[in-house]
C-alpha cells in the first residue's frame, strides 16, 4: 500500500524560540483513515497545521524534517498552495464563518471557475452527505450547535475537493449522540470516495471507531504506533487514553489511601 503522506523527523518552532514538535514521524496510507492520538499540548494540532501550511499570522516555521505528499516534498509549503494540492484542514476552533449563512459558508470556499458555475450541484452533494445541513441552509452559522458546526466545517472542507483531509479534534465538546452521527457520515463519505483522512483525537474510542492505523503523540514526539486493533489492546493506551474502568478507579483510590497512610507513618 502506498502512502499519500509521509512526515519525517518534523520539528516546528513558534516565534523563533518555542519548539512545539521534536521530530514527529508518521505516515498516512492512501485511502485509509489514520488517527493521531495524544493529550492536550502533545503537538497534534501543530502537526496538522504544519502539514496544511502556516500563514504569516501564525509566526511558526518548520525548522527540521520534511513532509512528503504523493512522493513530492512539500515541507514549508504555505496556504493556499497546499489546498491546490488537495490537502485540506478542518480546524479545531473557529471552524465556520459565524456571520455567514450555512449556504454562504459552503459558497465562499475557493473553487475553480468551472466548479463555480456548477455551484448548485456541489452544494447538493454536501447536503447529501449531511442532510441535517440542508434544513439549515439559510441560518447564520453562528447560531448552529457544535455538532452542526462540525458537519458544516467538514462539508466546506469537502468543497475544496481534498485528497487528504486533516481533521483536528472531531469529537471534542460534542454530545455522544452527535459524535456517533458524524462518525457514521464520515464512514459513508470515506466508503464512497478514495479520500485519505488524518484524524486528530483525544478520545481513543472515537479514533478506534474510525481509523485503521494510529499514532500516539506525546511531548512533540510519536511514542507509539500500530494498527488500531493492536492499539486497542495495548496496556499503555488503555491506561493513558481509555481509562481502565471501575477497576482502575479502585486502584487509584487504593493508591491514594496507601500514600496517605505512608505519609501519616513518617
Partner 1 sequence: MQILANIVVLTSLYALVASGYVLVYKVSRVLNLAHGELMILGAYLLVATSAGIASDPLVAIALTAMFSIVVGLSVYLLLMRKMTGQPVLAAVLTTVALGILLRGAMVLIWGPQQLNVGAMISFDNASIALTDSVRVSTAALWLVVCTFLVYLGLLAFLHMSRWGMRMRASGQNALLAAQRGINLHTVYALAWTLSTFSGSLAGVLVTLDSRIDVNMAVIGLKAFPAALVGGLDSLPGALIGAGVIAALEVLLIHYVNPLLSDVVPFLVLIAILIVRPWGLYGTKEELNRV
Q: Which residues of 135-161 are buried (b: 16+ CB within 10 A; e: fewer)?
A: ebeeebbeebeebbbbbbbbbbbbbbb
- Provide, rounded to whole angstroms, the least separation between the CB of residue 121 and partner 1: 16
In DSSP notation, 52-121 reads H---GGG-EEEEEEEEEETTEE-TTPPTTHHHHHTEEEE-SSS-S-TTSBHHHHHHSS---HHHHHTHHH
CB atoms within 10 A of CB 118: 12
- Of the candidate residues 11, 104, 181, 218, the single one contacting partner 1 (CB under 8 A): 104
Rg (CA), the chain: 20
Quick note: the x/- pattern for partner 1 over 192-231, rule CB under 8 A, is: ----------------------------------------
Q: How far apart are CA 214 and CA 236, in angstroms?
A: 14
Binding segment for partner 1 (CB under 8 A), chosen from 2-10, 103-111, 171-179, 222-230, is 103-111
Cβ proximity to partner 1, 6 vs 115, nearer residue: 115
**Residue 117 interacting with partner 1 (CB under 8 A):** no
**Residue 99 interacting with partner 1 (CB under 8 A):** yes
Quick note: the x/- pattern for partner 1 over 147-186, rule CB under 8 A, is: ---------xx--x--------------------------
Q: Which of 106, 140, 108 is nearest to 123 (CA)?
A: 106
| Burial (0-12, 13-18, 19+ Cβ within 10 Å), 250 | exposed
**Residue 83 interacting with partner 1 (CB under 8 A):** yes
- CB of 136 within 8 A of CB of 128? no
HEC per residue, 104-115: HHHHCCCCCHHH
- Provide, rounded to whole angstroms, the least separation between the CB of residue 159 and partner 1: 8
- What is the greatest pairwise CA distance in the chain? 79
- Provide, rounded to whole angstroms, the least separation between the CB of residue 202 and partner 1: 21
Q: How far apart are CA 69 and CA 58, in angstroms?
A: 22
Cβ proximity to partner 1, 55 vs 227, nearer residue: 55
Cβ proximity to partner 1, 32 vs 156, nearer residue: 156
- Of the candidate residues 18, 39, 108, 175, the single one contacting partner 1 (CB under 8 A): 108
- DSSP one-letter code for 15: T
- Of the candidate residues 60, 88, 133, 189, the single one contacting partner 1 (CB under 8 A): 88
**Residue 55 interacting with partner 1 (CB under 8 A):** yes
**Residue 143 interacting with partner 1 (CB under 8 A):** no
- Of the candidate residues 116, 146, 243, 248, the single one contacting partner 1 (CB under 8 A): 116
Residues that bind partner 1 (CB under 8 A): 52, 55-58, 79-80, 83-84, 88-89, 91, 94-100, 104-105, 107-110, 116, 156-157, 160
Amino acid at each position: 500500500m502506498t502512502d499519500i503522506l509521509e512526515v519525517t523527523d518534523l520539528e516546528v518552532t513558534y516565534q523563533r524560540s518555542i519548539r512545539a514538535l521534536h521530530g514527529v514521524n508518521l505516515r498516512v496510507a492512501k485511502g485509509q483513515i489514520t488517527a493521531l492520538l495524544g493529550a492536550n499540548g502533545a503537538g497534534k494540532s501543530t502537526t496538522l497545521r504544519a502539514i496544511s501550511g502556516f500563514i504569516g499570522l501564525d509566526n511558526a516555521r518548520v525548522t527540521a524534517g520534511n513532509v512528503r505528499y504523493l512522493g513530492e516534498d512539500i515541507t514549508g509549503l504555505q496556504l493556499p498552495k497546499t489546498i491546490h494540492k488537495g490537502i485540506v484542514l478542518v480546524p479545531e476552533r473557529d471552524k465556520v464563518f459565524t456571520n455567514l449563512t450555512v449556504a454562504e459558508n459552503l459558497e465562499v470556499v475557493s473553487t475553480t471557475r468551472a466548479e463555480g458555475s456548477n455551484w448548485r450541484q456541489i452544494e447538493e452533494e454536501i447536503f447529501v452527505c449531511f442532510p441535517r445541513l440542508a434544513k439549515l441552509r439559510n441560518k447564520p452559522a453562528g447560531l448552529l450547535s457544535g455538532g452542526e458546526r462540525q458537519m458544516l466545517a467538514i462539508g466546506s472542507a469537502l468543497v475544496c475537493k481534498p485528497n487528504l483531509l486533516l481533521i483536528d479534534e472531531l469529537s471534542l465538546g460534542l454530545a455522544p449522540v452527535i459524535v456517533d452521527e458524524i462518525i457514521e457520515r464520515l464512514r459513508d463519505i470515506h466508503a464512497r470516495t478514495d479520500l485519505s483522512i488524518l484524524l486528530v483525537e483525544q478520545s481513543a474510542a472515537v479514533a478506534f471507531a474510525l481509523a485503521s492505523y494510529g499514532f500516539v503523540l506525546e511531548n512533540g514526539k510519536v511514542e507509539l504506533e500500530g494498527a488500531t486493533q493492536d492499539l486497542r489492546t495495548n496496556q499503555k493506551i488503555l491506561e493513558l487514553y481509555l481509562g481502565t474502568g471501575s477497576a482502575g478507579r479502585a486502584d487509584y483510590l487504593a493508591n491514594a489511601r496507601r500514600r496517605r497512610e505512608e505519609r501519616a507513618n513518617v
